[in-house]
Structure 1
Amino acid sequence: MSAALRTETIKFLRSRAPCATLTAILLPVALAALFAVASDTPRLGAKSRALGITPDWPGFHTALMQIDAAGGFLLFGILVTWMFGREFSDRTVLDLLALPTSRTAIILAKFTVTTAWLLLLAALQTAAWLATGTLLGLPGTAHQGLPDLLLLLGLTIALTLPVALAASAGRGYLPGIAATIALLVSGVSAATLGASAWFPWAVPATASGLTGAASLPLTGLTIAAATAATGIAATALWWRQADH
């Protein structure tokens, strides 16, 4: 496991993914700041306030939560897809499986590196949100919105991990990206219908308030955690059993 983890870490850090995702994770903060500042203008104020976006910390928080519910899921899903689909697109899967390391260790190493990086991106975005709001001198306080933002980012990370199964079974990028988009659309639709208590991918949209007032049943958290664990186990099982 240590050899697989070291190899996957080196492969990831030497790729362009770290730089690309570090840049992309800051875009929602910039957009949320733009919407929060624009909400104080006569032209966009009414529309922004209808979405709960106001020129203060709560409005800045609301804007970022709504953007992250869709954009964050898409970004994290693409990264998971890349981590697992690249072996097929780069035609290195057979070389990878020929190594004297178990397939389970390789997959768990991939999940470990992916999750660690996604957590780092979440921490970076949170820090950028706090720094941007402070520089803008927004009235109010950020303390109330901080736990909600961290919860949303954690849920998004957990619910994008099963995308690895689609990228693996589909043997490339396209199935993983298609699965990410399908889960995102179906999750927002299900959240609109109040299905977050039983449909895992409706939980982020519900928690962010993207489909109305933010609310999250306890069963939603349990289902999200179970979905992540099932996705990891199913992906590892597929790599062990599949005929490559």
Structure 2
Amino acid sequence: MTTVAHLRTALSVEALKLRRSVVARLATALLVLLVPLGSVGIVALARSPQAVGPTAAKLADYATGDLATTHLLVCAQVIAVAALVAGGFFLAWSFGRELEDGTAGALFGLAVPRGTIALAKCLVALAWIAACVVLTVAVTVAASAAVTAASGESFGPRAWAGASTALAAGLLGGGLTLPFAWVATVTRSQLGTVGALVGIVALTQIVVLLGGGSWFLYAAPSLWTGMGGADAAAAIGLPHLLLTAAVAPLAAAAVVHAWRRLTNV
């Protein structure tokens, strides 16, 4: 078999695993349903009489402005983190399960090289995350359009720009999940990988509080959407976003290298 044939075979097998994965099904449902509902619901709460005291203060940024644009602003802020968490859980399962339960030993007898299998896992995971992000933003746009129409407002160019930002933020957040495939490979543990994911999310919060979020890649997508305020968003430029986007291919190369060096122990 040629290299292309090996990759095609591995992609078809990993795509089948994805379709049968309970983890992927749950993560997809949570992203596609909860993010749009949360985006519309938070704005509705911010603009309702029930938003008083601490709640009103926390949601003050969403209480004014164009309705549809605000919906997509919230969507961008939420999906930048949600795509990271959902993708991290899936990669912990995809790469950690076979290594943890010992069934990865069967891979050593296959004609398809282990590095090719790892590349196929990465590509399928990225394609799934990207599809989830696109679908989540599309559902949010549809829900926002319905709400704004019922309110007598229009879904204008600023809202479409917000949708583009949400799409980019979600894709950047999804790309940041691939290092956890490497973590799952070297630890051979799903739980250890989830622990690393939780640790990174917590570390991101600490770094942002200390003022170093602009160059911390796991903080850049959410700060860019305005989650840390206008000043923090203004500090995120093209170099920060390009560095964030470079994480996925670099991590994929590291994962492929690690899988080539796997031993059956």
Match of 1:41, SS?
Answer: coil
Root-mean-square deviation over aligned CA pairs: 2.0
Q: 2: distance between equivalents of 1:163 and 1:30?
A: 28
- Structure 1 or 2: larger helix share? 2
Aligned to 1:230: 250
Aligned to 2:17: 11
Rg bigger for which structure? Answer: 2
Using the aligned pairs only, state the percent identity.
Answer: 27
Aligned to 1:104: 115
Match of 2:260, SS?
Answer: helix
Structure 2 regions of 5+ residues with no counterpart?
1-6
Q: 1: distance between equivalents of 2:222 and 2:199?
A: 14
Which of 217, 223, 241 is 1:221 aligned to?
A: 241
Matched, 1:2 2:8: yes
Would the aligned equivalents of 1:72 and 1:156 in 2 still touch at CA under 8 Å? yes
Q: 2: distance between equivalents of 1:66 and 1:47?
A: 18
Matched, 1:177 2:194: yes
Match of 1:210, SS?
Answer: coil
Q: 2: distance between equivalents of 1:192 and 1:205?
A: 14
Which of 146, 161, 168 is 1:144 aligned to?
A: 161
* Counterpart code for 1:217: G
Aligned to 2:60: 50
Q: 2: distance between equivalents of 1:58 and 1:188?
A: 26
Match of 2:62, SS?
Answer: coil
Match of 1:97, SS?
Answer: helix
Q: 2: distance between equivalents of 1:199 and 1:163?
A: 16
Deviating beyond 6 angstroms after TM superposition, the runs of 4 or more aligned structure 1 residues are none
TM score, norm. by length of structure 2: 0.84
Q: In terms of mean alpha carbon deviation, does 203-212 or 64-73 score higher? A: 64-73
Aligned to 2:73: 62
Deviation of residue 58 (structure 1)? 2.2
Q: In terms of mean alpha carbon deviation, does 64-73 or 30-39 score higher? A: 64-73
Structure 1 regions of 5+ residues with no counterpart?
none
Q: 2: distance between equivalents of 1:37 and 1:74?
A: 25
